[in-house]
Amino acid sequence: MPVEFLSDEQAARYGQYHADPSPEQLTRFFYLSAADKQFLAARRLPHTRLGCAVQLGTLRFLGTFLVDPLQVPPVVVQTLASQLGLAPEQLAPYRDRLNTGYEHQPLIQAYLQYHSFDGRQAFRLTRWLYAQVATSTVRPSVLFDLATAHLVAQRVVLPGVTVLARLIARVRERTGRHLYRQLRARLSPAQQAALEALVQAGPGERLTPLEVLRTAPTRVSAPALVAALRRLDQIRALGVSEVPVQDLPEARLARLARHAQSAWAQTLLRMSEERRLATLLVFAQTLERTATDDILDLFDGLMATLALSGETTRRRERLRSLKDLDQAALVLEQAVRLLLDEAVPDADLRQHVLDRFSKDTLREAADAVQDLARSDEDPLVQALSTRYATVRRFLPALLRGVVLEGTPAAKPLLDAWRFLQVQETGGRGCPKWASAPRAVVPRRWARRVFPAKGQVHPPAYTLCVVERLHQALRRRDVFVRRSERYGDPRAELLRGEAWEQVRDSVARALERATDPQVELARWQQQLAAAYTDVSTNLPHNTALQVLEEDGQPYVSLSALAAQTESNQLRTLRAQLAQRLPQVELAALLLEVDAFTGFARAFTHVADGQPAAPDLPLSICAVLLAQACNIGLKTVARAEVPALTLPHLSWVQQNYLRVETLTAANARLVEAQARLPLAQAWGGGEVASADGMRFVVPVRTIHAGWNRKYFGSERGVTYYNFTSDQFTGFHGIVIPGTLRDSLFILAGLLEQQTSLDPKEIMADTHGYSDVVFGLFALLGYRFSPRLADLPDQRFWRLEKEDDYGELNELSRHVVNARLIADHWDDMLRLAGSLKLGKVKATAVMRTLQRAGSLSGLGRAVAEVGRVEKTLYLLAYVQDEAYRRRILVQLNRGEGRHAVARAVFHGKKGELRQRYREGMEDQLGALGLVVNALVLWNTRYLQQALEQHQAVAEPPEPGDVARLSPLLHEHINMLGRYDFTLPEGIAAGQLRPLRDPTSLEEQLAQLP
């Protein structure tokens, strides 16, 4: 039974003093109460009394007794001796009477009411471990620490380290076997045979069906969409879609699916039959959901491509037809001038025109103008109208392969979709096109779909339905049940009895009242106070002006002046930068791992696998290869077992994934937050969000077009979040350049670090009324940098309120009744987001488009208007607030500059075909940048201390304006050497450079 999950360090730390207790721990565990002193008073001799006190404190602190009771830090003996009025030296005779010490242990245990780890306690711990393993996927080493804490909390004397480790391994093994047995028992013999066939290559075949099915599409085209639908049919043909697994732990099922996604077929064949079938069952169900997502992603990308190509064709034809349009217009222009000639009698006017132009000439000119000059038609309709042949290539397969559901608002669209499905099957009883549902056709399509009364143009009708489906899928009015990203976000919202049980606790957590009138009154008071402050200070606020144009008032705000820098600050920055040691990026990663242990957060994708030898070295090499975009061959070393190319490829495949990157990154963020210099920059309560754009030159369905950022190529946006301590705590990969406001809230709710930012800054494109509303409901403050301030509206809650000089500016009135009517639904939505019941991105999509949740979106937008007005009033009033926003956004942009310098290989292009690969590589980039920031902060802090020892202390404001976003001293190019001096590996710092000698060397240069 493998128990290698326990590291040597963790085993040595178990039940031992690995460091001196902190002052807080001394007070908590080694303070002797009156009852303690009375218990100790029964020991007559000073050394037995002090020795007994040492063991008593040890049991409280460690949860166990030491083999040598006196192997305790001197500070413990000193603390206890001072309370007993004894000298620490009086403890020495206790060592010679160890039998007496052992005799004290049962007495101490009985006094503190601790239980021995007997069979009864082992049974209780086993039940607790089964519950933990069944409901989570924590690593065995983490479970070991949790079990230790649980035993201490239950006042159970800790067993030996091997006993506890073997118990955890046994429970995990049995739980796994039980899960495999349950899943296998739910499969029929036919289903088992179908799953077994996945890992068997057919005669003459090079790839197994498993490897073929898990190969996702990469090309955006109609044939690729048909192939993706065929792949989904093959997955469904396995016949395991309806096998129930909802009652089993979701986290453990996810681990099985993840392992099957990356494991070779030979690896799966070596498993036991129960485990193999369970793994393949879970994988097949997961693959059906992801394959459905791939189809809908393909459909989304294909519709966008069709619109772009159709628009290009439309413009080309428009240019080609301009000559014909000009000629027809000239004919009509001459005819109109003849009609306007007053010298011609009215009775002869018609004949006069016809003498000059024939009826056919005039009719042809009028028809040409009508056909070529359609200024009132939607450009998108015109663009798609020429793409019917392409849509017909994939539409039959799409109609058969995807089962759509929707909200009540989507009923006309679903009716039209079912009509197209019936038309596709044909046969007797097929309804005529004249009976096609008409409610789905908007006005912009009506002219093409209904060319005459009682007529329907089938190609135009089909294109209209497909285009409406595309938009409905984007805003989740239409959804697919077996899908990860296109499912119904409303299905997971708290509702009914579940919501009633948590309503009050959710309201308290959000610091909101359940009565909407209380919240409306509070908002009204805040608005009145904010308007009054701005109005009162208006004569003194030289940066703000209230102007008027065409009777419409607006505000004008002068730009912030550049923040001045003193000579002392510039000198301080230069001297600190000169002191930073020069280092290879590879050595930097190893050094950061030496004092944070972030590499230990990378675990094998298979459950319970022991750690690979020299794993930290391999992890750092893989991270560097990914972050620098240079590939594994560049960092591989044939002479180093941990750096051989096959080993690095194996480590990358089995250890590098989103959850391990997230766990490792959390360690770096936590280490940065503990540094005093980082705390001078901020406390982690403020963050900014912005996107990095990467060109993706390879074929993929997970990239989008944007000429501004990607030119003629396609690309992705890595939307990441930067704290005020310069650390990146979350990142999201977005195909193309979707609206950033969809993802801001997701970053705050889904990030897994110790930071808890309450205020978020973003650029202008990152905000909307709905974003303001949801942020406020969840207790966050949204502070975007505005570029269109004169266009902003200022709102009020009551029309009768008097805001003095700002009355005209604040003439827009919020719909308070709508807020009151939907207040409980808004709390329910906020509670569902806070508790992780629904994904923020899916909810944002539904709310952004005209409040598709039965008016809830409009109500959230009304709340957002109140909160946005409060923000605007603070923004125009407080220069320090505007500067704070600018400073934080500049920190995020500075991190992007460092990330660009790190990501230098392959022209800085991202060459991953699949979403998972993009997330892994960009996650590795964010992790390496965080390691670089942490390393710089650590050395900047040491350099600052050294500088203060020889010069005057800098101003506190100057320290707050230092930055760890430096990389000139870090070599990211050339041959990568993964070696680390023993002292540095043990935790020592590198020697700083001497800026004086550097200046002398520069002075000697010609």
Question: DSSP string of 621-680?
Answer: HHHHHHHTT--HHHH--TTSGGG-HHHHHHHHHHH-SHHHHHHHHHHHHHHHHHSHHHHH
Scored b (16 or more CB within 10 A) or e, 762-793 reads bbeebbbbbbbbbbbbbebbbbbbbeeeeebe
Half-sphere exposure of 458 (CA within 13 A, CB side): 9
578-584 average pLDDT score: 91
* CB 803, CB 796: distance < 8 Å: yes
* CB 930, CB 672: distance < 8 Å: yes
Span 8-22, pLDDT tens digits: 666 777 888 877 888
Surface-to-core class of residue 908, CB atoms within 10 Å of its CB (0-12 exposed, 13-18 middle, 19+ buried): middle
Q: What is the largest CA-CA distance in the chain?
A: 139
pTM of the model: 0.74
One-character DSSP codes across 460-485: HHHHHHHHHHHHHHHTTSEE-SS-SS
Span 278-288, pLDDT tens digits: 899 999 999 99
More confident: 368 or 718:
718
Q: How many CB atoms lie within 10 A of CB 626?
A: 27
More confident: 630 or 319:
630
Say how far apart CA 757 and CA 124 lie, in whole Å.
Answer: 39
| Cα angle for residues 299, 302, 308 (degrees, 5° grid) | 145
* CB 729, CB 669: distance < 8 Å: yes
- For residue 320, what pLDDT is reported? 64
Give me the phi and psi of 137, to 5 degrees please: -125, 40
Tell me how far apart the terminal alpha carbons of the chain are, to the nearest angstrom: 69
Say how far apart CA 449 and CA 388 lie, in whole Å.
Answer: 13
Band (pLDDT 50/70/90 cuts) for residue 614 is: confident
Secondary-structure percent of the chain, ordered helix, strand, coil, rounded to 5? 60, 5, 30
* Mean pLDDT, all residues of the chain: 85
- For residue 237, what pLDDT is reported? 92
| Of 298-312, 360-374, 535-549, 703-717, minimum mean pLDDT range | 360-374
Percent of the chain having pLDDT more than 70?
91
Query: Which residues sit opposite 552 in a β-bridge?
Result: 549
- For residue 381, what pLDDT is reported? 80
Span 304-362, pLDDT tens digits: 888 877 666 666 666 666 676 777 778 787 888 877 777 778 777 777 778 778 878 88
pLDDT of residue 974 exceeding 70, the answer is no
| Cα Rg of the chain, angstroms | 35
Q: Which of 104, 103, 112, 102 has the alpha carbon at shortest distance from 156?
A: 112
Span 893-903, pLDDT tens digits: 999 999 999 99
Could you give the C-alpha distances from 440 to 178, 384, 411, 418, 534, in angstroms and in order?
Answer: 51, 17, 9, 12, 49
pLDDT of residue 1006 exceeding 50, the answer is no
Say how far apart CA 757 and CA 785 lie, in whole Å.
Answer: 18
- For residue 896, what pLDDT is reported? 94
| Of 227-241, 402-416, 734-748, 764-778, minimum mean pLDDT range | 734-748
Two tokens, residue 905: 């290989």
Which residue in this structure is represented by tokens 């070393």?
Answer: 637
- DSSP H helical ranges for 793-878: 816-821, 823-834, 840-848, 856-877
214-225 average pLDDT score: 90
SS3 for 41?
A: helix
- For residue 188, what pLDDT is reported? 92
pLDDT of residue 211 exceeding 50, the answer is yes
* CB 185, CB 144: distance < 8 Å: no
Span 33-76, pLDDT tens digits: 888 888 888 888 888 888 889 889 888 888 888 888 888 889 98
Say how far apart CA 895 and CA 729 lie, in whole Å.
Answer: 12
Say how far apart CA 52 and CA 712 lie, in whole Å.
Answer: 78
- For residue 947, what pLDDT is reported? 85
Band (pLDDT 50/70/90 cuts) for residue 515 is: very high
823-843 average pLDDT score: 83
Band (pLDDT 50/70/90 cuts) for residue 748 is: confident
More confident: 726 or 362:
726
More confident: 1003 or 874:
874
Percent of the chain having pLDDT more than 90?
29
Span 71-124, pLDDT tens digits: 888 998 899 989 988 888 888 887 666 565 578 888 888 888 888 888 888 888
863-882 average pLDDT score: 92
How far, rounded to the nearest angstrom, does the alpha carbon of residue 971 sit from its chain's CA centroid?
A: 30
pLDDT of residue 850 exceeding 70, the answer is no
Mutual orientation of helices 388-401 and 458-474 as an angle, nearest 10°? Answer: 60
- For residue 312, what pLDDT is reported? 67
Say how far apart CA 221 and CA 305 lie, in whole Å.
Answer: 9
Say how far apart CA 957 and CA 954 lie, in whole Å.
Answer: 8
Q: Which of 644, 579, 638, 574 has the alpha carbon at shortest distance from 994?
A: 579
Say how far apart CA 665 and CA 933 lie, in whole Å.
Answer: 12
- For residue 741, what pLDDT is reported? 63
Span 134-192, pLDDT tens digits: 666 566 777 787 888 888 888 888 888 888 888 888 887 777 788 888 889 999 999 99
